[in-house]
Amino acid sequence: MLFYALLFVAVGKAACSSRTEAPPTPQSGVQCHDWGVHQGASVGVYEGESGRIPCPLFSFPSLYNYNQSSGLTLLWYRHTSTHELEQPIDLRAHTFLKHRDSLWIQPATLQDRGLYICMLRNTTSCAKVGVQLQVFVRNGVCDGTLHRNVTVPFQKSYTLRCPDLQHLPSVSYNVTWYHKCRGDLSVFYHRQVEGDEVKIYNLLIGSEGPYTCVVSYQSNGHTLQFTRTINIKPVSPNCGTDHPRVLNPTSGQIYTVTLGEAVNLTCRVFLPCMENEEQQVWWSIDKKTVEELADPRYSSPARSIELEDYGDQTVQKVLHVSEFSAADLQREFRCSARNSRGFNTSVANLQKEVYIPSVELGCGLGVTLAVAVLLFVLYRVYKLEVHLLYRSWFGTDERYSDDKEYDVYISYARNGEEEEFVMTTLRRVLEVELGYSVCIFDRDSLPGGTITDETLRFVGRSRRLVIVVSAFSAVQGTQALLELQAGLAMLRGGHLRVVLIQYKLVNKQCWVKELRRARVALTLIRWQGEKSLPLSSRFWKQLQLELPIRKHTTHTDTERTLDLTDHAKRKHPEESTALILDSLSKPDTQAHQKQRAQSSSAAV
Ligand SMILES: *[C@@H]1O[C@H](CO)[C@@H](O)[C@H](O)[C@H]1NC(C)=O
Ligand SMILES: *[C@@H]1O[C@H](CO)[C@@H](O)[C@H](O)[C@H]1NC(C)=O
Ligand SMILES: *[C@@H]1O[C@H](CO)[C@@H](O)[C@H](O)[C@H]1NC(C)=O
Ligand SMILES: *[C@@H]1O[C@H](CO)[C@@H](O)[C@H](O)[C@H]1NC(C)=O
Ligand SMILES: *[C@@H]1O[C@H](CO)[C@@H](O)[C@H](O)[C@H]1NC(C)=O
Ligand SMILES: *[C@@H]1O[C@H](CO)[C@@H](O)[C@H](O)[C@H]1NC(C)=O
């Protein structure tokens, strides 16, 4: 009794399922060939619209042919996350419709996305393949998320057909076309809507871009619709006639490689426009492709597009060598490109790079730089000291090379604060502390003789003229002005150096015209009051720099200086004679040489 009850249930179930589709039948004994999930065939559909999933098995017509006479059955299944096994699709539900080689979903909801499996079988054989369905929420009427690209050469004709329309499971439908979201397609004479199609007679700039067809139809008493977009990409009119060209490596190009390091060899290829043709670009090592070699040290990732222009492409193909060996240097690295029109190839010239120890070099440079910066800072701080030190080491004592009597002639305005400074401070420090021979006109000139001549003579016999600038320096007819003019004249002749000292701030406007002009070329040393009193102050260091070198500051007597000048003269008697003779032949320097001769004789 129980047995009959079970049989009844089983028969009932069988009757039930036969109304849908025969379930996958492991009991039929036929092993079903599984092609897996067909990646290229995945289908996208907008939510709320109809979608069509064609069974990809029929894209191999030589293998599978499905028609009434073939005796094959097409079955549809779905793989959902809730069920371990594939579930037959319930065709009783209105949303699913099996129509010829496709499954229509009318309309699609977000829940419908997932893996669909079509199975083709007869009593002796079986095959199945999976298709992924994606459902997108449409973002406005002009959403072009789902589209296909079509390349059309300029000035060629093309007919746009709405995809899936010829497979529509209904005979009554309406089609509306849009171009770039606008409905007025026929305003251009070079294109027209004819029936369900758009005919472009002559593709011109402006006719490219997205063409959208919206199809509405009736099915099972419902009004349904779907939208498809075809994106027209114009290409050059002579598309399909050219061969590829390898741009890099060029014949003169050298790829530098470092042994033991990773190396990237980049090949650049111009791929001309080709309609529906896969053009090849590849690297070969000693005439073997990377795949043939199967050496893990070599790899060549997919090419990247550098430039794209109306179908012409410039692409890059990199060969990556993980550890470049010495043996690799002997190999031939060749980049090639091919399409149906031709072949082009080029060999990379490799050159070993000389090893540069970048870290060590970097450290060395860093240290050098740090030392340089340190020295620079020290120099900025101790500039004067450095100069003085340098002079004391490498400077020459002018006493040995000239025949002057005094080191310094001090010019100052009488009856001013400056006079006091000269007498009590400047003269004392220069003579006593620093050991210079100083000439002060009022003290050193002998009574009698004209002041002008005497002044010129004394200034001429000094190595430096130190002018203590004051508001009274410029007063006409004063001794100070006379000294100044004499000094500046000799300065221009190059026979004397002039140093300015500013004891008190003097308005430049008060300076005598000649001094104002000469100021640019002269050193001005400022007295800083109390601060300048010690011998180690900036004032005295600056002054010493301007004055002749004194290595021994103990000799203060003028006799000593005189001795030295005598000595110098005795040492170079021929030179002095030569200079005098020379001066005779050069009239413009005659005056100076005469004076020089005079002072020499005076010194004697
Ligand atoms: C049906 O398929 C067979 C091969 O299986 C083929 O010879 C025949 O032409 C097909 N018929 C139609 C109408 O496509
Ligand atoms: C079943 O289909 C296969 C492949 O299409 C075919 O070779 C075979 O003859 C078919 N068997 C029957 C019994 O129709
Ligand atoms: C079509 O071409 C555009 C570039 O023009 C690209 O972004 C898009 O991914 C292409 N679409 C498809 C489906 O290949
Ligand atoms: C097509 O359009 C016409 C007029 O706009 C309308 O009467 C008809 O019902 C439409 N048909 C479908 C299937 O939507
Ligand atoms: C080589 O190229 C890859 C990316 O393609 C990059 O990650 C790597 O750093 C490059 N190596 C060298 C040595 O340039
Ligand atoms: C590659 O193309 C260039 C430019 O068209 C041509 O000069 C060269 O001969 C070609 N090389 C080969 C091997 O075809």
Phi/psi of residue 357, each to 5°? -70, 90
Tell whether the model's pLDDT for residue 160 goes beyond 60: yes
Closest ligand 3 atom to 147 CA: 13
pLDDT, one tens digit per residue, over 6-62 is: 333 333 333 333 333 444 444 456 788 999 999 888 999 999 999 999 999 888 777
Q: Which protein residue has the closest C-alpha to ligand 6 atom 9?
A: 344
Ligand 6 pocket member 170 (CB < 6 A): no
Say if residue 24 is preceded by a cis peptide, omega within 30 of 0: no
Active site residues: 483
Class of domain 398-603: alpha beta
Amino acid in position 530:
E
Task: Report residue 72 as tokens.
Answer: 């094959």
Burial (0-12, 13-18, 19+ Cβ within 10 Å), 323: exposed
Give residue 533's pLDDT band: very low, low, confident or very high (50, 70, 90): confident
pLDDT, one tens digit per residue, over 60-88 is: 777 777 766 678 889 999 988 777 788 89
The structural architecture, per CATH, of the domain 245-352 is Sandwich (2.60)
Ligand 3 pocket member 552 (CB < 6 A): no
From the CA of 321, which ligand is nearest? 5
Ligand 1 pocket member 69 (CB < 6 A): yes
pLDDT, one tens digit per residue, over 432-479 is: 888 888 988 888 887 777 888 888 888 888 889 888 887 776 666 778
SS3 407: strand
* Rounded mean pLDDT, 98-102: 90
CATH superfamily placement of domain 32-136: Immunoglobulins (2.60.40.10)
Asked: is 148-235 a CATH 2.160.20.70 domain? The reply is: no
- Report field, pTM of the whole predicted structure over 0.75: no
Ligand 6 pocket member 345 (CB < 6 A): yes
Tell whether the model's pLDDT for residue 554 goes beyond 60: no
Q: How far is the CA of 345 from the centre of ligand 6 (A)?
A: 7
Nearest to 59 by CA among 79, 31, 39: 39
Strand partners, 288: 285
- Strand intervals (E) in 71-157: 73-79, 87-88, 96-99, 102-105, 114-121, 126-136, 148-153
Burial (0-12, 13-18, 19+ Cβ within 10 Å), 37: middle
From the CA of 353, which ligand is nearest? 5
SS3 content of the chain, % helix, strand, coil (to 5): 35, 30, 35
Q: Which protein residue has the closest C-alpha to ligand 4 atom 8?
A: 174
Higher-pLDDT residue of 536, 67: 536
Residue 347 pLDDT: 96
Ligand 6 pocket member 225 (CB < 6 A): no
Residue 120's CB is within 10 A of a number of other CB atoms, namely: 24
pLDDT over 70 percentage in the chain:
84
Closest ligand 5 atom to 261 CA: 13
Q: Which residues line ligand 5 (CB under 6 A)?
A: 262, 264, 301, 318, 320
Burial (0-12, 13-18, 19+ Cβ within 10 Å), 159: exposed
